[in-house]
Structure 1
Amino acid sequence: MIRLKYKRVIKVVTTVIALFVGVYIIYKIKSGLQPNRMPVPVVLVTYSRSGSCFVGNILKLDDSVFYVFEPLHFLKFGHRVLHFSDGSIRTLNTYLTVAERILRAWFSCQLNEIPLEYWDEEIFQTTKIQGKHIFYFKERYKREIYGKYRYPRIFRATLQLLEDMCIKSKLVIIKTIRTPIFMLNKALSELDNLKVIYLYRDPRGIIRSQRRNLYISKENTFVSLNDHAENLCARIFNDAITFAILSHYYPEKLLPLKYETFTMNLMRETKHVYNYMNLTLTARHVETLIKMTTTKERAKYYIPKNNSKELVDRWRTLVDMSFVDTVDMSCSHVYSRLGYLQISDVTMLKNISIPLYRNNDTNKQFHFGQEIPV
């Protein structure tokens, strides 16, 4: 009788243990099926010579950020037949198709979907513009990259390590001057956590800086001032309208950032942007910001912008009224929409104490001069 009871107890205990083991195994299997926590994708959309390198370097101050500098830059060379780390070759016919796929790959840290042509660009071999993760990756394997991937197995294994770093990050921040805002419409509708920061600047300051930069470059691709202004302001105007419409549908996902307001109120605006990205502006961040903007000491990994406040309107001292009048013919309709003032005469142009933008208290809202129908 005692032996029978003992056997029953053993059976019950065995059944309970088996049950717990089964539940544990099911839990582990389900846990394995759960998608990894992915970083929040943030896109800084802007234009060349808009202060975007400066702003981008402030956004990447936090160690939890995986920062990507101009991932679409290589497409300017006309790449449409693209090679990938798995040995595949794909032909994509349009810029928008290629660009959207590349951005999506960065959003989800699928670095095997980034074309090898991207890794070939020597322009990114500096800590001052590129994120530290990608910089260190390319520094370690530059011989392999520029040797045209003679050891693809090693390259893929190392690329996987970089991908793991991307996945473990809190944010993936992509700075791009080659992404029209309408191109993000689909991603905004499909990705709940996507954030878009639209950095804009007085078109007159942008054009003056672009003209100087293009004239001194080897390419010297600057067309006539009138044509250049017309092309740029047409894009800005379209972006502004699209941004207003998308802000109506996704108010929590889009943040406007006026360069002048950001630079003149750097600490306050940086804190506001960090809050938007769910980051905390720490004492270390503030110390680096001070080094970047008020001293000649170069903060490691970042582009200094000494006397940043003085540089906001410096372009006004370098142009004349004929420049202003020419740009106005193509851009005057953009000023009011973005909150800038038209220059009436040379006195207003040269008197830096007269601001050329509305003194909005904060960048929290996009202050359009006109109401956009939606």
Structure 2
Amino acid sequence: MYCDSECGAGDTMLRRWRRIVVLCCPGLLLLVVLVWSLYYQKATDGNSNDFSPRIDGKSRKMAVPFQDKPGTEVILLTYQRSGSSFLGELFNQHKRAFYFFEPLWGLYGVIDSRGNLTSLNGTVRPAPRRGLEYQLAEDTAVNFLKCHMHKLPLETMAYYKRRVGYNGSQMVEKEFHDFLGFPGRHRLLDENGYIKCINTTNWPNDKKCVPLLQKGCLQSEIRAIKTLRLRMWQVEKMLRDNPNLKIIHLVRDPRGALISRFQAHEMEAKVEMEASTRCLDILRDYNARVKLDKVYPGRIMQIKYEDMAAQPMETSKAVYKFLNLDLPKHVEMWLWMATKMGMARNGNFGTMRTNSNATAWAWTDKIPFHVALEIDHICKDVYDVFGYKPFESIASHRKMNDAISLTDDFSEAFLKVDTDAKRTHQKLEEYRKALEKRESKLREQPAEIKPFVVESFIQQKVTDKNGKVIRTKLVPFSKS
């Protein structure tokens, strides 16, 4: 068989291509692996608190579609029983807002029970101990606002089990779900099916509901979270890294907040301890806010619950103006119905108040006199900063019937946190004598007593001749 010169040339070319392929394949494979590893590292941001699903054949289907979409970001930073549920409804009622109630509640529940945190692909890791969780808490808040649900532990988004103790050597776990699924608490997530999904799914299959949560977040114009578990010193990095983020700091008279905690059966320690802890937190947050205002002007708004209760419509418009938005008509209508239309109160944790102003000051008719004086002594610095009056000044204006309404039953119940029975009895006797003394003085006064009017304060800007704001001052105004 004969072959011309072209046949030999073709055979040589074929051998060359085979040699090239053999030599290049390992290099190409190495390049693909390198590019993929860099991509995966970028996807997880190198963050130890990242809960992204691992990329493998099994868990890739669980991955939540991710994209960045800018929006107005709001953190409502406050304290227990300070009217935050009511203020949070300004966002929950907005049709284009993603509002999440206490995103850190589930996280701290696991931390306090020394349990594990679960990622979307089912892997678990031990929760950090108290005092070592601050970075994780901050990252969790930011990830909610950025719609980075793929980075969140499942315990913050859905149904989970929490360790509550041991029965001998057997660990006892309890299922918690009502906190997220409370009717109306997350209006947008009720409407898009997320709440129904987690209510009808067993743990840990709740991860299939997470895309609904992220979809609701990505479609929103406003992303707001309310939290009791962040403090003002923690938001500095958030403000620096997130230019769209704004903070609303809500404060309430500590006496009203503590009475409300007592009525809601949340009092966990003596009055002295509760008052000291609350007022220390408020002062620290105030001092941190003053410093942050200088670095990030116009990014933090401070609200007193009493002002919001007295002027709910004006305060709500000011909140939206702070966010460079107009108060929607449907939110305005809800606000009117919730505060002015005499709708029935819907519980200690609800948002409906027959008369919001009366609710804000109802504690003055319920607090035992000596307890109020004790809180006054502990929280004097808070009063000086926010303009709250000492109780002696408030009580001097109350009617005789109001004084008599301070029942002994309530006083005894309020004092049950004091373990010293003798001291408790002594305090109660002092309180009863104070009531009798005030009652006798009131009987000596003319029958016509002016109704009790509480004076509150609003912040007023002081400008120079060029219109530049040089400081703010507290200006009193009367509440009707």
TM-score after normalising by structure 1: 0.78
The CA distance in 2 between the partners of 1:206 and 1:297, in whole Å, is: 23
Instruction: Indicate yes or no: 2:321 matched with 1:275.
Output: yes
Q: Aligned match of 1:213 in 264, 268, 281? A: 264
The CA distance in 2 between the partners of 1:233 and 1:44, in whole Å, is: 18
The CA distance in 2 between the partners of 1:172 and 1:299, in whole Å, is: 27
| 8 Å CA contact 2:373, 2:392 repeated in 1 | no
Q: Aligned match of 1:82 in 97, 108, 117? A: 117
Gap change, CA 1:45 and 1:134, over 3 Å in 2: farther
Q: Aligned match of 1:69 in 93, 96, 101? A: 101
1:35-85 per-residue CA deviation (whole Å, 9 max, x = no partner) reads: 743222100001111011111112322211100000111234343631011
2:204 maps to what in 1?
Answer: 149
Unmatched runs of 5 consecutive residues or more in structure 2: 1-66, 160-176, 400-450, 462-468, 476-480
| 8 Å CA contact 1:321, 1:346 repeated in 2 | no
Instruction: Indicate yes or no: 2:312 matched with 1:266.
Output: yes
Q: Aligned match of 2:179 in 116, 119, 123? A: 123
Amino acid at match of 1:192: P
1:354 shift after superposition: 3.7
The CA distance in 1 between the partners of 2:397 and 2:121, in whole Å, is: 56
Alignment of 1:56-205 (within 5 A): 56-79=88-111, 81-93=116-128, 94-118=132-156, 119-120=158-159, 121-133=177-189, 136-144=193-201, 147-150=202-205, 155-156=207-208, 158-205=209-256
1:250 maps to what in 2?
Answer: 296
1:355 shift after superposition: 2.2
Q: How many residues align?
A: 323
TM-score after normalising by structure 2: 0.62
1:367 shift after superposition: 5.3
The CA distance in 2 between the partners of 1:161 and 1:78, in whole Å, is: 24
Task: Identify which range, 41-50 or 205-214, moves more after superposition.
Answer: 205-214
Specify the structure having the higher radius of gyration (Cα).
Answer: 2
Gap change, CA 1:170 and 1:346, over 3 Å in 2: closer
1:75-121 per-residue CA deviation (whole Å, 9 max, x = no partner) reads: 34343631011223233422313211211211210112221222123
| 8 Å CA contact 1:68, 1:131 repeated in 2 | no
The CA distance in 2 between the partners of 1:341 and 1:297, in whole Å, is: 30
Task: Identify which range, 229-238 or 321-330, moves more after superposition.
Answer: 321-330
The CA distance in 2 between the partners of 1:86 and 1:339, in whole Å, is: 51
Unmatched runs of 5 consecutive residues or more in structure 1: 1-34, 216-220, 370-374
* Higher RCO by CA contacts (8 Å cutoff, separation 6 or greater): 1
Q: Aligned match of 1:336 in 384, 391, 408? A: 384
2:278 maps to what in 1?
Answer: 232
1:293 shift after superposition: 1.2
The CA distance in 1 between the partners of 2:186 and 2:141, in whole Å, is: 16
The CA distance in 1 between the partners of 2:199 and 2:188, in whole Å, is: 15
Instruction: Indicate yes or no: 2:421 matched with 1:353.
Output: no
| 8 Å CA contact 2:345, 2:353 repeated in 1 | no
| 8 Å CA contact 2:98, 2:224 repeated in 1 | yes
1:308 shift after superposition: 0.8
1:205 shift after superposition: 0.8
Q: CA RMSD in A?
A: 2.8
Q: Aligned match of 1:306 in 328, 335, 354? A: 354
Gap change, CA 1:203 and 1:131, over 3 Å in 2: same
Aligned to 1:222, the other structure's residue is in SS state coil
Percent identity for Structure 1 against Structure 2: 23
Amino acid at match of 1:138: I
Structure having the larger proportion of residues in strand: 2
